[in-house]
Amino acid sequence: MTSQVINTPAVTAKTGSGYENKFQNFSRRVFFSKTGGTLLSASAVALLAGCDTIAATADSGSVQDDVNILNSAIGAELEAIAAYQLGAESGLLSSGVLAVAVKFQGHHKEHADVLASTVVKLGGKAETPKANYNFPVEKLNSEADVLTFAAELEKGAVSAYLGAVPLFTNRDLAKAAASILGDEAMHWAVLRSALGLDPVPVAFMS
């Protein structure tokens, strides 16, 4: 499948899912209280917007290291976009779950866009979507399967950003990545809650 983003998936959502109320109630508390602006914090956006200064003051080796890390993050975001596309088009999601899944996909699109813009400003070439992703399509037979799959991806994203933050040469980029990490962690918590699991099962992530 491709990672093309759709704002309104052309699928018929299921209704009356046992997960729908859980998903809607928890996600509304976490996300729907926001007014729909960028999902990065204002400070993170400012940090990324200032990457021209970063490029001008850093040595070429450290900039390339940061570009490589950013491109790894972009690759993960593009994979998430494609995964939510798969879920949205599966026909397995109830209307409430589908709405939040598309919202989460939008978050990942925002992450990918701002990271790609940063790579370009730093003089690099941003990662592009793969033609195909090796998703376990044959194992996605119910709404719970899709939610579990998405939760695993989000947990992986949290771990990836957690590992990337201390690797950035520029600490401002590290702070911006930490802001994205927080959003991925909220996604994971919402998905776990929808599955009837403890949304915050541990005190520390790894």
CATH number (domain holding residue 50): 1.20.1260.10
Q: pLDDT at position 63, please?
A: 86
For residue 76, what are the CA distances in angstroms to 28, 96, 138, 164? 25, 25, 22, 12
Structural domain that includes position 105: 44-194
Q: Assess if residue 23 is contained within a domain.
A: no
Q: Assess if residue 33 is contained within a domain.
A: no
pLDDT tens by residue, 38-83: 444 444 454 565 555 555 555 667 888 999 999 999 999 999 999 9
pLDDT < 50 positions in the chain:
1-13, 15-16, 21-44, 46
Q: Assess if residue 165 is contained within a domain.
A: yes
Q: Assess if residue 27 is contained within a domain.
A: no
Q: Assess if residue 5 is contained within a domain.
A: no
Q: How many domains does the chain have?
A: 1
Structure tokens at 66: 């940061």
Q: Are 93 and 146 in contact (CB under 8 A)?
A: yes
